[in-house]
Structure 1
Amino acid sequence: MVSEREVVAEVRGLTIRRLRAWVRRGWVRPAVRDHEYRFDELDLARLRLLCELREELGVGEEAVPLVLSLLDQVYGLRRELRRLAEAIQAEPSEVRERILARLRGGL
């Protein structure tokens, strides 16, 4: 976990003012310890993405919440698919084969 100043030093194009605005908007949700924001690796990745969206891709401020929502949905679905794949992998081989056959047959 890193502080605001460490985040700003690490994420190109990020300022304290912009960081705090994004936290207020809920675009990034750091932990709070001793009345200070603390950011983990996921927060840093999201902040890098936000900087890229705004600075390099020219995504407008009004579109950022939609983009973040869609990305969060994609990541959530990927997690669910991974858990589903793990559950299928734990099944006996004949069950896995039937599932695979159904998937290949277009359900």
Structure 2
Amino acid sequence: MRMDKQTFLKTSGLQVKVLELWIEQEWLVPEETPTGLHFQEIDVARVRLIRELQSRIGANDAGIDVILHLMDQLHGMRRAMEELRRDMAKKG
């Protein structure tokens, strides 16, 4: 589900300043359109993850940067592997 900024703020429970900071830090990367920023459900899940990293694990900003970067790399590799698997299945 695609959400505008106001809906995302309500759904995620973030404050505007925190959202702006997290976008600046590239912890969240919303889609930019002529009508404004748009978010997905995955962005809400990412907010929950960041909050958990902060509160339960006690990760600082630098730690969260590293964790999110590694997770993004892992997801990218999984997508690439799935594409490779599909391509191999087509050729097989």
TM class by shorter chain equals: 0.7 to 0.9
5+ unaligned residues in a row in structure 2: which ranges?
none
Q: How far apart are the structure 2 equivalents of 1:84 and 1:18?
A: 38
Residue 90 of structure 1 aligns to a residue in which SS? helix
C-alpha spacing 1:56/1:8, structure 2 compared with 1 (3 Å) = farther
What do you get for the CA RMSD once the two structures are aligned? 2.0
- TM, length-normalised to structure 1: 0.70
Q: How far apart are the structure 1 equivalents of 2:85 and 2:44?
A: 29
**More strand, by proportion:** 2
1:40 alignment partner in structure 2: 40
Alpha-carbon shift at residue 34 of structure 1 (Å): 4.5
Percent identical: 25
Query: Is the contact made by 1:4 and 1:37 (CA closer than 8 Å) also made in structure 2?
Result: yes
Query: Is the contact made by 1:4 and 1:16 (CA closer than 8 Å) also made in structure 2?
Result: no
C-alpha spacing 1:87/1:7, structure 2 compared with 1 (3 Å) = same
Query: Is the contact made by 1:11 and 1:44 (CA closer than 8 Å) also made in structure 2?
Result: yes
Q: How far apart are the structure 1 equivalents of 2:31 and 2:91?
A: 38
Query: Is the contact made by 1:31 and 1:37 (CA closer than 8 Å) also made in structure 2?
Result: yes
C-alpha spacing 1:3/1:85, structure 2 compared with 1 (3 Å) = same
Q: Which has the higher contact order (CA 8 A, sep 6+)?
A: 2
Residue 3 of structure 2 aligns to a residue in which SS? coil
- The amino acid that maps onto 2:71 is L
Q: How far apart are the structure 2 equivalents of 1:34 and 1:85?
A: 37
**More helix, by proportion:** 2
- TM, length-normalised to structure 2: 0.79
C-alpha spacing 1:8/1:55, structure 2 compared with 1 (3 Å) = farther
Tell me the number of residue pairs that the alignment of Structure 1 and Structure 2 aligns: 91
Q: How far apart are the structure 1 equivalents of 2:83 and 2:34?
A: 36
1:19 alignment partner in structure 2: 19
